[in-house]
Structure 1
């Protein structure tokens, strides 16, 4: 069934401008069903009571062979009950304003959808004076209702300008909020809606879009969009190849593929057969590394045909080579001498500390107690900061113990290498 979705003129939806600018709150699925039914109705002009395959409808909205009929039922219910204010921006040449439901009725029976378009919309859908040319295969790729609504709005303006290769338009913030049905402040509109929308449009649609905020005083008053057409056939080639192969070769539908690498490649526009070949030929680290590289290059504006570039990147391994580890540079003679001197002092202090503890341990118990008593006497008659920790912990305090042995070094250390750094260095040289 998905084989019907190719880049041919008859598979374009000529969506009337009046219905592009609908003032409602359709969900993503409801808007896709809305578009699919307009496309189907246009292909069967003259009929007010139409039938279409449910499988075809599911393919047109990007659900493939999903069996979840509840989403279709809910969408049809909304389209038969929700009032749609069309041509709300007053840009259609023939009608100023209108309100109605989209469908007069709908019925699901035996794998077929029977639907009746609201009579007020029949002529506008059959003979639109202004319309946006929307590829149905493109709409299946959108996962955000804001992205699809913004894409339709931009494509509509591009078509009304004669479909130039590049086009710019300035949209007031009030108009943009109406189109997207988002009422929050600009900082949230920008961060939560515009940026994610344009990432999705640039990745999946047939246009590249940039935008710039236009201020009035200190506040943002409008947005200037710059649009550039892509080569549709090149951009959609991977998607078409994937869906056609799935039908022709008996492969599982894309929704049923479980290999995360294959799924990741297909999501970037690589064909199913090619994705399988790449995963079979290369390890996961190489594929993911080149995918990250390709995404970075695309964001930098260096890549136009992303899927083709990604395939070449994986096959030829475009990953940036890791920088070799830097060899530690040799310190300057002056720095080396200073470091050696600091190390010598540290070794000498450790030597002195060990020696004073050895000498103290060699004393009799009475001599040891005399040294402790003299130390405590000095603490109590001075203003030492050690008095408080001594009263709390005695000689178990690390600070007290360290000071005790530091003072003992004056009376217990007597050898030249214990008293003089140069003598210590000479003793080390003789020992070496």
Structure 2
């Protein structure tokens, strides 16, 4: 029996996700968290009416950005979800806390390239209600590279319209990030350095929001935190405009006077005491006065703070300057890579539309009866309803079926230029040439070294 598959668009997948589910305290891997979102997206419309849900295993892998053909690895991740007990710890509207626990996925099966799975009724009802959902962008989740960044994105995105998250107690936040059982993250400066800052950097680089952290202090101890949430139009970190105890400290103001960013100054003041900060400020001023700083003073100051430079540690300073030069070279390569990727996307799109116009013209020259017969013949060869529905919507210009469309019309003796022929005739970049350049540049970047270990 042919199973009806839901159409998935890679460009605009929005998941309506119950806010309680976003507060899952379970220790899930990055792949498992992406699976949770993708499976829910696929099943959402039938959560309360369907006992079982189906999705192509290959489509599922594509949705979560898992390009491996090792289905065994996917099976292991699904099994992990079936063994996961999920805690829902939610602050209700009446101010009362509500706690529940249940199995995340009670059943899963992969057969004939199709993944079948079920939800418990209680979990399905909790996930479905539209009055308490957050919209999560699956296109963003597919790009995430760390579980901490994914958790931070899920918990911040629903607050974009408000402008900030709720305040979290530090212990609650550790549990949210699944590091509450790790003693090494007990000190806040370790939690901030190894979990929060890397997660924020990834969210701000890859997602459609930008986040900034605010903290609450009791004495010199951080007791709570929340995140400022803004649309990420320029994909960059945004400085904080509001003032609090951190921004009022002498060390923070001194760092700002040296041109250090708000985000970085805030992180340093949280992680280090004022004596440490002023020691590095004095060192930077002394070295600058001697003319010994080859890079910028702010760049040297960052190295001094993060690597604990002292006046006698000349070797360490030289090593960092060399690392900064390599980092600059790598950043230049990364900018070149982004330019090449943009050119490749533009070339592929232009070529696809050029070929589609040739096909559409040939199709329109047929009689009405011939057009119906040709369209029906092509659809029969597609197999999956996902591709059939995409073709019905996009016709011969459909992007999802572009390769099959070209093969089909070439078999009908319609001349279609190759990408190389098209590029030469139109003075354009050839997509395959750009692809080779991109792969070579990615390998060069991967092999580059941007930091050094101090002696």
The TM-score, its normalising length taken from structure 2, stands at 0.49
Who is 1:19 aligned against? 21
Specify whether residues 232 and 157 from structure 1 end up closer, same or farther in structure 2 by C-alpha distance, changes over 3 A only: same
Distance of 1:92 and 1:124 partners within structure 2: 15
Who is 1:201 aligned against? 203
Who is 2:119 aligned against? 117
Specify whether residues 280 and 198 from structure 1 end up closer, same or farther in structure 2 by C-alpha distance, changes over 3 A only: same
The correspondence for 2:101, drawn from 90, 99, 102, is 99
Whether contact under 8 Å (1:92, 1:130) holds in the other structure is no
Post-superposition offset of 1:114: 0.7
Who is 1:171 aligned against? 168
Specify whether residues 247 and 24 from structure 1 end up closer, same or farther in structure 2 by C-alpha distance, changes over 3 A only: same
The correspondence for 1:49, drawn from 24, 48, 52, is 52
Who is 1:383 aligned against? none
Whether contact under 8 Å (1:28, 1:144) holds in the other structure is yes
Map residues 143-292 of structure 1 onto 2, 5 A cutoff: 143-158=145-160, 163-164=161-162, 166-167=163-164, 169-183=166-180, 184=185, 185-231=187-233, 277=434
The correspondence for 2:9, drawn from 5, 8, 14, is 5
Whether contact under 8 Å (1:90, 1:97) holds in the other structure is no
Who is 2:63 aligned against? 60
Specify whether residues 32 and 55 from structure 1 end up closer, same or farther in structure 2 by C-alpha distance, changes over 3 A only: same
Deviations 1:224-263 (A, max 9, x none): 3211113599xxx979959988966659xxxxxxxxxxxx
Post-superposition offset of 1:91: 4.0
Distance of 1:226 and 1:18 partners within structure 2: 20
How many corresponding residue pairs?
A: 255
Whether contact under 8 Å (1:206, 1:232) holds in the other structure is no
Whether contact under 8 Å (1:21, 1:89) holds in the other structure is yes
Who is 2:392 aligned against? none
Whether contact under 8 Å (1:5, 1:240) holds in the other structure is no
CA RMSD of aligned residues (A): 4.0
Distance of 1:36 and 1:215 partners within structure 2: 38
Deviations 1:133-184 (A, max 9, x none): 11111101111111101110111333xxxx25x4464332122112101132
Q: Who wins on radius of gyration, i.e. which is larger? A: 1
Whether contact under 8 Å (1:7, 1:135) holds in the other structure is no
Post-superposition offset of 1:22: 1.1
Post-superposition offset of 1:89: 3.2
Post-superposition offset of 1:36: 0.8
Whether contact under 8 Å (2:25, 2:86) holds in the other structure is yes
The TM-score, its normalising length taken from structure 1, stands at 0.51
Whether contact under 8 Å (1:29, 1:71) holds in the other structure is no
Distance of 1:128 and 1:97 partners within structure 2: 20
In structure 2, stretches of 5+ residues that fail to align are 236-340, 353-398, 405-428, 446-455
Specify whether residues 37 and 280 from structure 1 end up closer, same or farther in structure 2 by C-alpha distance, changes over 3 A only: closer
In structure 1, stretches of 5+ residues that fail to align are 252-271, 289-432
The correspondence for 2:144, drawn from 139, 142, 145, is 142
Distance of 1:84 and 1:38 partners within structure 2: 15
